[in-house]
Amino acid sequence: MSFEGEFASYEPLRRILESNKVKELQERFKIREKVEEDDDFNEKIIHINEVRKNNLKPDLVIAFDGSNLTAKAMNGYPGAEFGYITVASVIIFLSKIAKLEKEKFIDPKKFRETEEAATIDTVFPGCNVILDNEKSAKASLRKALFESLANTGFDGGESLLETYEYLFSIKRANFSTTKLPKSPIEDYADQDMTYGMGEYTCPHSGESLYSTDALRLHELMNPGGSNGEMFGQIMATIEKLVFVNFLRTFEKVDGWLSTLRRVAFILDGPLAVFSTSSWLAKVISYEIKRINHLQKKINDTDLLIVGIEKSGNFFNHFLEIDTTKDGITDKFPEQSVLLLDDDYIKNNIIFSESKKPYGLDTYFGRKFFYKTASGQKIVPVIASYNDYEHDLRTANPNQFARLGDVMELLDKLVSNQYPNSISPLISAHAEAALPLNLGKRIFEDIAREIRETTNG
């Protein structure tokens, strides 16, 4: 590590590149062969005209995105920090936008009325921050996580803790394992964790345990340094809980289940849960399948749930296959998709020789590449509602629920402001980064829109 104000010269880099050990390692690299024109690849591309679409289009988009910031805690301890996490939910009224598009001049005030936002914010202790009479920063984090979920939610819906504990009950009933994680109580780490709901007493130590301990996010805490990774995972977990919270509200409120045919849910990032709380992926999948089954009896169509990956290996590979060896872009045809199966992913994007399908334990959706009518490159992830759709051995259009509707929707939502992005997530990110609508009654906005549309 360099000293403050000290800058490295090019000499170390030259020495690394000329190192015999580096050269020997490079010679052992497995190289993926690039093929300029691949007939099999071209045959897999599907145009929007080749896929089925519903007559009823969504006119309500609900987008979710989060933001987290780490700040120094002024408590006298070196390195003390806390994480400020916000998750925004933005409703886009496509029907209002469609009306405005017919006008010669669009009133900015009316355009602002085409979306409503609500944001929840939470604060979590990090390194060297002790709450109340807790014994450590890790114990403080565990307590803060439980309390934050218990005290967080949108007016008219259940708390995030209620949503979480419902999902946790699904795990215990349907996805229980014989091997339990270890106790989060210091000095009792050799004991298995004792599961329970709410706040309860550890049978070994007599100290408090929380239902949220099962997320094991406290295991990510770095007691002697920055905890950016931990705060990021907490944010991602809360994002998914907020999404499920919304879905469950549509089920619980009388008359709302039938309106899901008009709603599209868009999440920032993949439809997946990683790290210590990855078990949530299977129970979220279980829950959205259940709700989808209920609403499909009424609406005769699947839910429209999409995640959007804006960066990473999949997006970079999409850029690569859209570019020729000569550096010319737009090789991939517009309004076309490439549906990804396990073989393609492992041979071209995430190398693996494992027989276990990619993302089996962490994803509740399927990825594909789509180039919109305007040429934007999007990596969507569509939710899977049955075992056939989730089977990565094949990639057929009927394994991607409402594929045609998603393609049409993305054509409408792509942004001219930022490349390869969609406007609802831009709005959600702006709200999460600068929360101005804390605690807003977002479900009232949805209810009002439903009433107005129904009466209209």
Domain ranges of the chain: 45-124+235-455
Res. 143 pLDDT band, cuts 50 70 90:
very high
Is residue 452 helix, strand or coil? helix
How far apart, in Å, are the Cα atoms of 450 and each of 59, 266, 267, 441?
11, 19, 22, 15
pLDDT at 2: 39
Is residue 382 helix, strand or coil? strand
* pLDDT reading at 421 higher than 70: yes
Please answer whether residues 303 and 400 qualify as being in contact, where contact means their C-beta atoms are separated by less than 8 angstroms. Answer: no
CA-CA-CA-CA torsion sign (70, 72, 75, 78): positive
In sequence order, the β-bridge partners of residue 65 are: 88
What span, in angstroms and rounded, lies between the C-alpha atoms of 448 and 155?
14
How many CA atoms does the CB half-sphere of 244 hold within 13 Å?
31
Residue position matching structure tokens 């349907």: 174
User: What are the start-end ranges of the E strands in 248-357?
Assistant: 263-268, 304-309, 336-339
More confident residue, 113 or 373: 373
Res. 169 pLDDT band, cuts 50 70 90:
very high
What span, in angstroms and rounded, lies between the C-alpha atoms of 456 and 453?
5
Which among 43-57, 73-87, 337-351 has the top mean pLDDT?
Answer: 337-351
Q: What is the DSSP letter of 217?
A: G
pLDDT at 438: 54
What is the pTM (predicted TM-score) of this model? 0.90
What span, in angstroms and rounded, lies between the C-alpha atoms of 389 and 400?
6
362 Cβ contact partners less than 8 Å away, ≥ 6 residues apart: 272, 273, 274, 278, 281
Which run of H or E residues covers position 369?
strand 365-371
Nearest residue to 247 (alpha-carbon basis) of 288, 214, 209:
288
Please answer whether residues 247 and 407 qualify as being in contact, where contact means their C-beta atoms are separated by less than 8 angstroms. Answer: no
Please answer whether residues 343 and 304 qualify as being in contact, where contact means their C-beta atoms are separated by less than 8 angstroms. Answer: no
In this structure, what token pair is assigned to residue 206? 């007599």
Chain segment 183-227, per-residue pLDDT in tens: 999 899 999 999 999 999 999 999 999 999 999 999 999 998 899
User: What is the average per-residue pLDDT within 113-123?
Assistant: 86
pLDDT at 96: 79
Chain segment 216-271, per-residue pLDDT in tens: 999 999 998 899 999 999 999 999 999 999 999 999 988 899 999 999 999 999 99
Please answer whether residues 53 and 408 qualify as being in contact, where contact means their C-beta atoms are separated by less than 8 angstroms. Answer: yes
Q: What is the DSSP letter of 208?
A: E
Please answer whether residues 165 and 178 qualify as being in contact, where contact means their C-beta atoms are separated by less than 8 angstroms. Answer: no
pLDDT at 34: 62
More confident residue, 372 or 449: 372
Q: What is the CA radius of gyration of the chain?
A: 24
| Backbone φ and ψ of 78, nearest 5° | -65, 140
* pLDDT reading at 437 higher than 70: no
Please answer whether residues 132 and 125 qualify as being in contact, where contact means their C-beta atoms are separated by less than 8 angstroms. Answer: no
